[in-house]
Amino acid sequence: MTALELIGAINQILFVGLFVVVLRHALRERRRSSFNTALLFGSIAAVVLVSRVADALGLAEHPAYPGIVITLLAVAPFAMVRLVDDFSHSPRAIQIAGYLGFAVVAAMAILAFGPIQRLVGLVAIVFFLVVGGYAGYAFAREAARARGITRRRMTAVATGAVAFIAALVLIFAGVLLPRVAETASILAQVAALVAAGAFFLGFAPPAWIRRAWREPDLRHFLERSIHLAGVTDERAAVAELNVAAASALGARGASVGIADPNRGVLRYVDAETGEWSDFPDDMFIAGRAYRAGRRVVAEDAAAADPQHADRYRATGANAVIATPIGTDARRLGVLAVYAERMSIFAEDDLWLVDLLADQSAVLLEARTLAEHASALRAREEAARMKEEFLSAAAHDLRTPLTVVLGQAELLERRQQRSPEAPADAQGLARIAREARRLSDLVSELLDAQRLEQGGAVRDFAPADLLEVVAAVRERYSEGGVTLSAPAPSLPLIASVDRPRIEQVLDNLVENALKYTPQGPPPEVHVAIDGGEARIAVVDHGIGIPGTDRKRIFERFFRASNAQSITDTGLGLGLFICRRIVEEHGGRIWFEPTPGGGTTFAITLPLVEESGTEPLDERGDAWEPRPARGVAADA
């Protein structure tokens, strides 16, 4: 046996083997594309069979033999264009050319092969080149469009188709041109071998190759979706899951429906608006799969669900695969994948859709667990806050209360002992002072509560911030404290809840005084920058330790060095300031004052620009540096 004969024999075995595999598949899955695949390889297997029988019976020279072989070979390109039409749209002209060409070649080959051999050969070559060539091109085009395993299988099929057509053309060229017959025959066998190998990879890849080809799709999906377990916004997570599933499958679209069994609906994220839309949980093909608890495949969605045919057509969802997410015991939703046409390798898609549905179930469960955990954390945090609040409030309220009570009891006893004695003015003043402090603390607590709930800042009206600052300055300079602020030059109009802004500035100035046991008094600076006013309260006090900086604006937080200065203070002032400033659309932050101390700054948006120069008249005007400072939301 020569090498060429060996290759020929291998080719024959491969093609017959392929036919057996695809025939078994076609019998199991009765789809048009399976039938056309079986037709393709059936024709080649038939050629092998006929030639074997003819050889065995010595019928190779029979006048009908070449006609039968040519007709059988012509079935192959014809089956190919039918196959192309199964997964993509192919022009009507090429379909007609396929049918007509096949009829012409078959008729000429069977009826009139003897006298017009050369003409039949030429017509057959043209037919193979045009029809088979188009099929090869269409497979390659589909390969370029597809992704993952479908792309690889399609590439193999395209290679196989081109090599197979080349082999046929070479065989006929050999017959027509006896001078190159030998070379053509060698090349034809090699091309047929390439075709057989490529077709095997395309139509019947071995399990290990299939696994290796599928793996990237799955990894790609996991890479894109694994973080979704932690995404708090469920709508955004589902939208991303849709994109990840569609992209893993190279499908036109995918949509995950989340089950809401209490309301009997499936919730989808609308691809256009990005909003939730709820549908009864038995609606669409997806709903059927969800209700039935098993996969539903619709090669023609409009026919399978005529009620919503328009919807499927409008979105180009001609073929739909829907698989429930979750188990029978715990149905979480459904995954539906839409495509223009069913792939001829539907089994890969089905496998991947099932797997993606399982992965989605894991993700959705993980999300539920994460939500439970965060709800639990929030409850614990609330309980902790309540405890902190109670102990802070109890401690801070008890001190003035003890004074009030003690003083009142003292006055009472004195009164009983000597009712005629003049009133103790000092004692009364003390009671009044401590009661005021008590009232301030209670107001602060209530205020923080109201601001936390929102809507406590509402009386916005245009006000000149320079006037507001001047009023604050006035208040504190009356108490013997010197503050330096710029003399008003241009009005700085902002839309503010004035008492609230004054409350913020009072608080910052009070803190600045409170936390500056000795040293120069605090200063207030006003600057304007673009559309914003910046007000800074600069002190030269005890500063804020580095470790506490991040938490300064938290509710009830007091820095470690504050206790050494005063043990009164709930740690609510800055929390309240932050809320008020943010409700005004501004920012609050602090940074160390050069040389020691702390600078707290706020910005407020201005209604109309009042100038661009810093208003501070001093040469060393304070310049805010929020980048280095610690913002309230840091």
The minimum distance between CB 591 and ligand ADP, in angstroms, equals 11
Positive or negative, the CA dihedral 27, 32, 38, 39 is positive
The minimum distance between CB 590 and ligand ADP, in angstroms, equals 8
Q: Quick one: 488 or 521, whose CB is closer to ligand ADP?
A: 521
The minimum distance between CB 353 and ligand ADP, in angstroms, equals 56
The minimum distance between CB 559 and ligand ADP, in angstroms, equals 3
Task: Judge contact between 371 and 379, C-beta under 8 A.
Answer: no
Q: Quick one: 434 or 539, whose CB is closer to ligand ADP?
A: 539
Q: CA-CA distance, 184 to 167, in Å (whole number)?
A: 9
The minimum distance between CB 536 and ligand ADP, in angstroms, equals 12
3-class state of residue 22 by DSSP: helix
The minimum distance between CB 440 and ligand ADP, in angstroms, equals 11
Q: What is the 3-state secondary structure (H, E, C) of 96-148?
A: HHHHHHHHHHHHHHHHHCCCCHHHHHHHHHHHHHHHHHHHHHHHHHHHHHCCH
Q: What are the start-end ranges of the E strands in 407-477?
A: 461-464
Interacting residues with ligand ADP (CB under 6 A): 511-512, 515, 539, 541-544, 552, 557-559, 562, 569-575, 598
Q: CA-CA distance, 490 to 615, in Å (whole number)?
A: 8
Q: Quick one: 433 or 551, whose CB is closer to ligand ADP?
A: 551
Long-range CB pairs of 368-372, under 8 A, 24+ apart, other chains included: 370/229, 370/230
Q: Quick one: 42 or 573, whose CB is closer to ligand ADP?
A: 573
Q: CA-CA distance, 275 to 381, in Å (whole number)?
A: 31
Q: Quick one: 501 or 544, whose CB is closer to ligand ADP?
A: 544
The minimum distance between CB 548 and ligand ADP, in angstroms, equals 7
Q: What is the 3-state secondary structure (H, E, C) of 466-514?
A: HHHHHHHHHHHHHCCCCCCCCCCCCCCEEEECHHHHHHHHHHHHHHHHH
Structure tokens at 342: 């069913």
Q: Quick one: 409 or 440, whose CB is closer to ligand ADP?
A: 440
Q: Quick one: 253 or 520, whose CB is closer to ligand ADP?
A: 520
Q: Quick one: 242 or 511, whose CB is closer to ligand ADP?
A: 511
Q: Quick one: 444 or 497, whose CB is closer to ligand ADP?
A: 444
Task: Judge contact between 528 and 612, C-beta under 8 A.
Answer: yes
Residue type, 274: G
CB atoms within 10 A of CB 303: 11
CB atoms within 10 A of CB 618: 11
Residue 420, class by beta-carbon neighbours within 10 Å (0-12 exposed, 13-18 middle, 19+ buried)? exposed
Output phi, psi for 536, to 5 deg: -125, 140
The minimum distance between CB 551 and ligand ADP, in angstroms, equals 9
Q: Quick one: 427 or 592, whose CB is closer to ligand ADP?
A: 592
Structure tokens at 482: 């010197």
Task: Judge contact between 541 and 519, C-beta under 8 A.
Answer: yes
> Please, what is the angle between helix 32-57 and helix 181-203, to 10°?
140
The minimum distance between CB 392 and ligand ADP, in angstroms, equals 10
Q: Quick one: 164 or 557, whose CB is closer to ligand ADP?
A: 557
Q: Mention every residue, 6+ apart, whose C-beta is less than 8 A from residue 525.
A: 484, 485, 486, 535, 536, 538, 616, 621, 622
The minimum distance between CB 585 and ligand ADP, in angstroms, equals 21
Structure tokens at 618: 């001093």
Q: Quick one: 113 or 575, whose CB is closer to ligand ADP?
A: 575
Residue type, 633: D
The minimum distance between CB 588 and ligand ADP, in angstroms, equals 11
Q: Quick one: 315 or 391, whose CB is closer to ligand ADP?
A: 391
The minimum distance between CB 455 and ligand ADP, in angstroms, equals 22
Q: Quick one: 153 or 525, whose CB is closer to ligand ADP?
A: 525
H or E element in which residue 413 lies: helix 346-417
Q: CA-CA distance, 240 to 225, in Å (whole number)?
A: 7
Positive or negative, the CA dihedral 351, 356, 357, 362 is positive
The minimum distance between CB 577 and ligand ADP, in angstroms, equals 7
Q: How far is CA 267 from the centre of its chain?
A: 17
